[in-house]
Amino acid sequence: MNDTEHSGDMGTKSNKTPIVLLSGFLGAGKTTLLKQILSWDFDLTGTIVIVNEFGDVGIDGSLLKDSGSNVVELTSGCICCTLSADLKQSLEKIHEQFNPERIIIESSGVADPTAICSVLSEGNLSRYMTLQKIITVLDAELWEARESFGQLFYNQLELANVILLNKIDLFRKDQVTRFLKDIHATMPGSQVIPTLHCRIDPETLLWENKPRPLDIKPLSFYQDLKRRETVDAAGYVTFVFETAAPLNESCFQEFLSQAPFELFRIKGPVRFEDQTVMVNFVGGRGDLSPWEETTQTQLAFIGWNIDSEVTLKKIRDCIVR
């Protein structure tokens, strides 16, 4: 798991320009994810998108030309090898000309993120840019055949802050459950989220360090799907838990530690007997931070193929009587 530096939320200008790297093997869905990000309800003023297309024709850039962001296409090679110098020069030029609020890099499917990270950590760049997050899109079909793809495939996963297990609609639910368990066993501590067409809640992926309670908008990650029944068939569930009574802290901590991998998002304030904390749980990992703006528990959940009542009962069992 990559410990990249986090440098503020999506709308906040920090001392260093935050860079989000989209990684993943060929055909996994990186461009689909990028288009999702660019369609979210964020102010994208000052966003620079760098798209790397392996080959002579920059197809991805043409798809993104109407997104409203500046697109810099790097063609005729791969960021991690023949275009390493071009990436560095492009970032330096972007900084000089635009001083952007944020940069999103969609790397080639054959790019090794370790080499890209090396470029981004070089002297001049590291003084005014910071790699904020690596998001890797994993084609579920490729995970099943992972032994065939070598070290590059694993590097893309091991360095990720968040892994999107994409195209789950092509498999039975029991197969997807097995994939999630296998990935977590292979890379303990990883954050893994099952996705359909890379539909995901913005706050699950990105930049908010100080979340607002119940502002998760849990339905937004599939709002663009044409048919709601497609989502229902895929098994996604959203629900909310609220109570003014305090929760037992050790009971709640145990609940988080035993949360199934299919319960990939929990967010909101939790009131214990002696304090209130903000819970931010994504894809199997989470943190609790002090919170002083509410006195009751308000939790929003996003899951896949889970029984919401089972989860809610476990939470209710933590209520101090």
Which tens digits make up the pLDDT trace of 164-221?
A: 999 998 889 899 999 999 999 998 878 899 988 888 777 767 655 444 444 544 434 4
For the chain, which domains are there? 17-205 (3.40.50.300), 220-316 (3.30.1220.10)
Residue 30's identity, in one-letter code, is K
Cα angle, residue 220 at apex, residues 225 and 237 outer, rounded to 5°: 85
CB of 302 closer than 8 Å to CB of 236: yes
Kindly provide the b/e burial profile for residues 94-126, where b requires at least 16 CB atoms within 10 angstroms of the residue's own CB.
Answer: bbeeeebbbbbbbbbbebbbebbbebbeeeebe
Distance between CA 91 and CA 50 in Å, rounded? 9
Model confidence over 102-143: pLDDT tens digits?
Answer: 888 888 887 888 888 888 888 788 899 999 889 999 999 889
pTM value is 0.77
Q: What's phi and psi for 203, nearest 5 deg?
A: -70, -20
Q: Virtual CA dihedral for 6, 7, 9, 10, nearest 10 degrees? A: -100
